[in-house]
Amino acid sequence: MAILVTGAAGFLGYHLCESFLRDGKTVIGLDNFSSGQHCNIARLMKDHPNNFTFLAMDVQDISRWKSGDVATWNLDLICNLACVASPPLYQADPIQTFNTSVLGVINLVKLAQTTRAKLFHTSTSEIYGDPLVKVQSESYWGNVNPTGPRACYDEGKRAAETYLSMARDTLGVDVRIARIFNTYGPYMSANDGRVVTNFINQALDNQPMTVYGHGEQTRSFCYVDDLIRGFRLLIDSDYKYPINLGNPTEFTISELVDKVAALYSAQSGESYIANISLKELPVDDPMQRCPDITLAKTLLGWEPTIDLDTGLKLTFEYFAKLKAGDTE
């Protein structure tokens, strides 16, 4: 039996493929490289030549596959990680972003029906929008601007959850839905545009760190290994409803600046005081983001084990190697 992973060239897609492949699974990766990295696919093909196959394709085009061809794959699991997740990137082509979430899920539901495969979908904490509650549980409906600049991603993910819920209840599709909070770690794209990669690369380049607003907004940062472990536990569980996966420890953006600056000083041996470049807070940028992971703890026995200092050190070392020309 085989596993299909859409978004396989992306940050999380790569790590999930690698996790399955290390366990001896057969994986078919799919990506259109809208934000994924060719080097991630090359690494998977090099390290797992007998178990990994790659298709350069948009998840919106899956409907073109012939059912007879799909049947030969013997899929027992479909993992949907397709969709650009970085605000600068998803806002650059909002219609494509929305269609990837919505049309992509419609196609994958059809594929799951054809193959009778379990369908695991990565949703997002962005469905909570700019929350009006300090800690967001799965029962919170959110505070989302349906026509703002972030809506293409937020509302696309919300619509995908709606469709999956209908597919579960009316079509009997075996779904799993993970609501992901901020995640970071090695093999993120250097041009990802999110705060951890921005700060680390700006520090390595001796550039001012770009802070939007005054740095008082909060985020909860989960190291990628913890998240992938959560994915695997959710996939193997019987729970068919949305569940939060993220680190419940909250930090301000200003605190993250200080941590990255301290890492640079420790790694380089040079005293480093971060220069800050303040910019206007983007429209609808959330002021707080913190998951309630009670369900994950109770149902999956999952919670993060890697603290921010440890995870940032591993991530900083990865990007420092990239800067030095080490691509492995």
Rounded distance, CA 254 to CA 252, Å? 5
Q: Retrieve residue 142's tokens.
A: 């959110």
Asked if 48 and 218 count as a contact pair (C-beta separation under 8 A), the reply is no
Q: How many CB atoms lie within 10 A of CB 27?
A: 23
153 has catalytic annotation = yes
Rounded distance, CA 297 to CA 300, Å? 6
Which of 90, 128, 153, 223 is the catalytic position?
A: 153
Rounded distance, CA 6 to CA 83, Å? 9
Rounded distance, CA 131 to CA 320, Å? 35
Rounded distance, CA 82 to CA 100, Å? 7
Contacts of 159 (CB under 8 A, 6+ apart): 98, 101, 102
Catalytic residue numbers read 153
